Amino acid sequence: MGPDELADLVDRHAAALVLYARQWCGSPEDVVQAAFLKLVRLRTRPDSLLPWLYRVVRNGAIDASRAARRRHKYEAAAAGTAPRWFSPPDDPTGLDARAAALALKTLPAETREIIVAHLWGGLTFEQIARAVGSSAATCYRRYAAGLSALRQQLGAECPAT
């Protein structure tokens, strides 16, 4: 199949195929694109091209839907076991997530990047240093200074070590 024929096929049928796939999955454009790529890779052209495309799109959309449900299930399970970074807002002794997010936005971008990578990403200072092109010591200093600034803005005391 030549590029002109493929372009014509995409122009004439892609929108309808996307609409068709949308009834099963949340990423119909990806499914349709994968179907056209599968068509391009075929050595011999299917006898009934349009029904073949619809079948491939249908199967791809159902697979994508199953994968999304499976991913959601695993992500929900993982989120349930992850430690909570913020206490619920009704806890007067806890950290208010909204206030913390606003305070975090006030930090310089490089400091914010280091704090997020370390606290939420779980990266070591050596790993962060490689990612940002700095030294581990500099990353640690920025991290410590950033936490100090956040504590000051949020009125939180430094925990005893």
Q: What angle do CA 77, 83, 84 make, to 5 degrees?
A: 105
In CATH terms, are 3-81 and 97-154 the same topology? no
Dihedral over Cα of 33, 36, 40, 41: its sign: positive
What is the rounded distance in angstroms from the CA atom of residue 38 to the CA atom of residue 60? 11
Please give the share of the chain, as a percent, with pLDDT higher than 70: 88
CATH architecture of 3-81: Orthogonal Bundle (1.10)
3-state secondary structure of 137: helix
- Is pLDDT above 70 for 105? yes
- Amino acid identity at 127: Q
The domain locations on the chain are 3-81, 97-154
Question: How many angstroms separate the CA atoms of 86 and 89, rounded?
Answer: 8
CB atoms within 10 A of CB 4: 8
Is pLDDT above 60 for 92? no
Task: Quickly state the pLDDT bin for 13 (edges 50, 70, 90).
Answer: very high
> What class has domain 97-154?
mainly alpha
For the chain, what is the total number of helices (H) and then of strands (E)?
7, 0
State the Cα–Cα distance between residues 95 and 132, nearest whole angstrom: 28
Each residue of 28-80: pLDDT tens digit? 999 999 999 999 999 999 998 988 999 999 999 999 999 999 999 988 887 77
